Structure 1
């Protein structure tokens, strides 16, 4: 009987870095991250952390030096190789600060590869702090043990995004009303058709819904799927989490067992 793989030892602190990760590499941290390790986590020299950069997998590292405003780590052994991830975008109309932060965090946990703010006719928010959103995405990636951080794109007009939409990318459009297929039914059909390996995106509209001209433009996309999320009107952040959850359950990696459970 084959032995079940052992669960990897859990590390409390994971950090995303830009440097190439190889054994023996010394990685320096900026002031903010060094302050976090020293003052917030109260780590000491010799503490073990994990590092990842989205390219080289996850590596163990030892805190070699720590001072006021600086820290250095020595890379040890690779803990996990880099693995392929879903090509899944979230396209969303910007919403108020607390809720957009929540949406970015959960979209990262749910495996999105790119996050695209879309300015629609009824978008109520006219400014998007993409630096803050990128920081939220990085922190969420560190916490949820994924091996990459999703890209946060600059805001764009939805009409221009539609005009430049990649022909091969399927688009799951969450519609509040109208002729929309229940999301479970649409994703079940996509799963049966073997579309899980194709590039996908989920589109969440603003609180006021899409304008008629936007819906008309969306219907012209060759791989547009209009879906409903049930009889209740959901907030934009709730709708985003719900749709991404359904996508992962039907087409994503939720068929895999947790680490250390014996199969992928």
Structure 2
């Protein structure tokens, strides 16, 4: 019998004794690629019920069935932090999505700016990348990936209670900008490789929820900027600031 080292996201209810039917892709991965057999253990999460240990009840390469045994971890919801980012090249955009999930972003919001090179985004593919990252990093929450939207349209309906950290290279350091700021709903905005246009800068600067900050003296690639901003925000205001609550069930 194999130990439960594989984690799968399933969009189905989880609970002791609950049967979980796998789709064809999951079945192929589990039984053809990973060579799991009946009786082997797998870890499951659905973004709602925490993490459960399950065992293989039926092993078929096109369909399989798992049965939940017991909960191994409670649901851990990350801080209410959105990441707004302008898509770049395909590989770099995938990298941003993966690292944002690992660093605890609660929602991923692709935005099209004046200088964004990409005018379309495969949201389903990006959601799959987010799912794979959550499976690998031990997350029990799956951040949703929004459709690509123009930045102007996003700002038109920006929530009054959500602060927006605008990574603006012309401003002060990020640690200084976040000092003394309250928690609660936040978002981080990362621009495209060409930066923001003058028109966008004027609009962002006039938005009362915006907090401006620099990411240091060097120009960062978009994917590096996303990692840097998420890391510093988590250290200052997120769930890195206090000992984690127990994530184990029972």
TM-score per shorter chain, which class? Answer: over 0.9
Alignment of 1:84-123 (within 5 A): 84-123=77-116
Instruction: Tell me the SS of whatever aligns to 1:107.
Output: helix
1:138 maps to which residue?
Answer: 131
Q: Secondary structure of the equivalent of 2:64? A: strand
Aligned pair partner of 1:186 in 177, 186, 193:
177
* Residue of 148, 172, 175 corresponding to 2:168: 175
Q: 1:102 to 1:216 in 2, by over 3 A?
A: same
Of 12, 27, 31, the match for 2:20: 27
Residue of 192, 198, 205 corresponding to 1:206: 192
Q: Distance in 2 between matches of 1:68 and 1:106?
A: 31
Point out the more displaced range, 79-88 or 24-33: 79-88
- Given candidates 148, 151, 162, the residue that maps to 1:155 is 148
**Count of matched residue positions in the alignment of Structure 1 and Structure 2:** 245
Structure 1 gap ranges (5+): 1-9
Deviation, 1:129, is: 0.9
* Contact 2:13–2:46 under 8 Å retained in 1: yes
Gaps of 5+ in 2: none
Q: TM-score, normalising length from structure 2?
A: 0.94
CA–CA separation in structure 1 for the residues paired with 2:51 and 2:242? 19
Matches within 5 A, 1:38-77: 38-77=31-70
Aligned-pair RMSD on alpha carbons?
A: 1.6
The corresponding residue for 2:225 is 239
Counterpart check, 1:224 vs 2:186: no
> C-alpha distance in 1, partners of 2:202/2:245?
44
Cα separation, 2, equivalents of 1:85 and 1:121:
31
Contact 2:164-2:188 at 8 Å conserved across structures: yes
TM-score by length of 1: 0.89
What per-residue deviation string (whole Å, max 9, x for no partner) do you get for residues 181-222 of structure 1? 2101112222xxxx12x1010000011110111111112222
Residue by residue, what CA displacement relative to the aligned partner does 1:14-38 show, whole Å, maximum 9, x if unpaired?
A: 1111111111110001000100001
Distance 1:95 1:168, change over 3 A: same
2:23 and 2:4 map into 1 onto residues whose CA distance is: 21
> 2:245 and 2:185 mapped to 1: Cα distance?
25
Q: Which residue of 2 aligns with 1:251?
A: 237
